[in-house]
Amino acid sequence: MNEGVRHNWLRSGSYNLLLNLQSLLFGFGGFYILVRLLDKHSFGIWTLFVATTTIFEMARSGLIVNALIKFLSGGSKVERAQIVTASFFLSGIIVLCCIALNVCIAGYLAEIWHFPGLAKMFYLFSLVYILQGFLTQFQCIEQARLSFEGVFLSSLAKQAGFFIYVLICYLEKYQTSLISLIYVQALSNLVGIIIEYFYVRKDLIFSAKLDWEWVRKLFNFGKYVFGTSVSGVLSTTVNQMMLGALLSPDAAGAFNVSSKIINLIDVPTNALGPIVFPQSAKRFELQGNDAVKYLYEKSVGTILALLIPCLLFLLIFPGFVVHIIAGYKYQETIPIVRVIVLCALINPFMRIFGPVVDSVGKPRINFVIVVIFTIINLPLNYIFIKWLGIIGAVYATLVADIIIFSVMYIILKKEFKVNLRNTLIYAARFYPEFVSAYIKPIVKKA
């Protein structure tokens, strides 16, 4: 690897790590305060609301993000203007569809989750959808230049705004409403848009006429990622939704606590994902399948090396972690954490699969896999929740993860000759390499 490529990797990786660290700090910080600020029922309702709106946001992002970054990064100046114009058009269409669907289901969800005020929350969130659409477009344009500074700062402003508000409410003992939280989200997104604009204003070039050929190209590339994103987020939120409908919003809130705990130790996976996609695409063009095989095995191995110590601690001391993070009113979360650790161990293998197959021009494979996962996960959740209650949602996800990962591995082995043993070797090598590269130089200087 030459020095320029290494520098880009380190720079991109550093910003992505910072992005995930600030998401961890403010995202988890907001959760930490909300779980204490709101009663169990209100927190459960907020959990279900966020899970639902995330599905719509991921739908829009899935259709646009990867396609826009891929085509912008290699397009000429004229093509970039046509691509940006086409992407804004597509984004606008999907935002309108999301808002329409949002309005249609608001009343139904308010009824099955037994919270009349939920409908108003969904209606108001339409404003946030629009603002998020602009922010994501701007961030993608910057990422296409392999630049992440504006993305980091705009995301920081977006998440810090919400965190600061709930922190003030907590310190001042002000009982905020769920509606107020949505207003704060809208304002925070607006601040993020203003910041990101200054980083991309020179790249915001538009064509005088909408090029339908580029609309078609963006849509055809993004449609599978779109389906993958929707199916993926649906598969991770359906358990909370079913818990809310079959049991109560309180049960959904308790499950969400365990998910947040796992998110705490999932930073390495989230940080490497956005880097693997563009790097895999480049290396596939230059070096073929061998490069993709190495990138997958090395990425998963590195993530495992970082995750395993944290997961072991969580497995041994789940009660301690739950009490520290959520207090003593979520005792039912403790057994959930023990099982969800197993899901977290499989997660890196599954998470890196998507960027890898997308990067080599086979998003349809990822789409089909995630759809199958969702189809399997839905009935499993219904059966296991009915049978075992809250803990059933975790067992359902674990069974679905094992089935789908088996399918993924068959594909990886066939397409790229991936060997799981190599991921474990890279994981084991990580520790001595880390000591040699970082610890020993520090000791010598001391």
Question: Which of 259-263, 315-319, 327-331, 358-362 is least confident?
Answer: 358-362
- For residue 112 the two structure tokens come to 């099955």
pLDDT reading at 207 higher than 90: no
CA distance 72 to 113: 43
Average pLDDT of the chain? 84
Contacts (Cβ under 8 Å, ≥6 apart) of 297: 418, 419, 422, 423, 426
- Classify 80 as helix, strand or coil: helix
- Classify 384 as helix, strand or coil: helix
Question: If we measure between CA atoms, which residue out of 437, 440, 445, 441 comes closest to residue 6?
Answer: 437
Q: Cβ distance 261 to 314 under 8 Å?
A: yes
Contacts (Cβ under 8 Å, ≥6 apart) of 410: none
Q: Cβ distance 151 to 143 under 8 Å?
A: yes
pLDDT digits (tens, 9 = 90+) for 68-121: 887 887 767 778 889 899 989 988 998 898 889 888 999 999 999 988 899 999
Is residue 4 very low, low, confident or very high in pLDDT (cuts 50, 70, 90)?
very low
pTM reported for the whole predicted model: 0.77
CA distance 65 to 282: 17
pLDDT digits (tens, 9 = 90+) for 319-336: 999 999 888 888 889 999
Q: Cβ distance 243 to 391 under 8 Å?
A: no
Give the C-alpha distances (Å, rounded to integers) separating 427 from 294, 309, 420, 423.
Answer: 13, 12, 11, 6
